[in-house]
Copies of this chain bind each other. A is one copy, B any other.
Amino acid sequence: MKMVMAVVQDKDSPRLAQNLVKAGVRATKLASTGGFLHAGNTTFMIGTEEDRLEEVLDIIRQSCRSREQVVTPMAPMGNQMESFIPYPVSVQVGGATVFVLDVERFEHF
């Protein structure tokens, strides 16, 4: 048994949750903030048998992979001057930081 701790961006969290459920992988979400991914994030705590570990990591990779996204920044608060011209910029979103830990014992009461 392994425990997978995966820190992912909030925006990827529903997709990852859905894909884990679809694969019959059980997980719980821990509320988390800041840190690894420079944005609102969620930590998934996933328990998996060793022989499904690669599959679980694939699901995380595919649900959360780092990618470019074009966003148009908002005018800064209080800055309503005509001088602000918003133009789209490309930012990197997604990504996951994943730790795999060994589980010595697993119980289900």
Contact = CB atoms under 8 A, between A and B. Distances in A.
Given A99-B106, A100-B103, A101-B102, A43 B28 contact: yes
Interface string A40-79: 0101010100000000010011001110000000000000
Interface of A: 1-3, 5, 7, 17, 26-37, 41, 43, 45, 47, 57, 60-61, 64-66, 94-109
A32 B33 contact: no
A64 B99 CA distance: 25
Contacts of A34: 17, 28-29
A60 B43 CA distance: 21
A41 B31 CA distance: 12
27 contacts: A2-B104, A3-B99, A5-B45, A7-B28, A27-B35, A27-B36, A28-B34, A28-B43, A28-B97, A29-B33, A29-B35, A30-B43, A31-B33, A35-B45, A61-B107, A61-B109, A64-B109, A65-B109, A94-B109, A96-B107, A96-B108, A97-B108, A98-B105, A98-B107, A98-B109, A100-B103, A100-B105
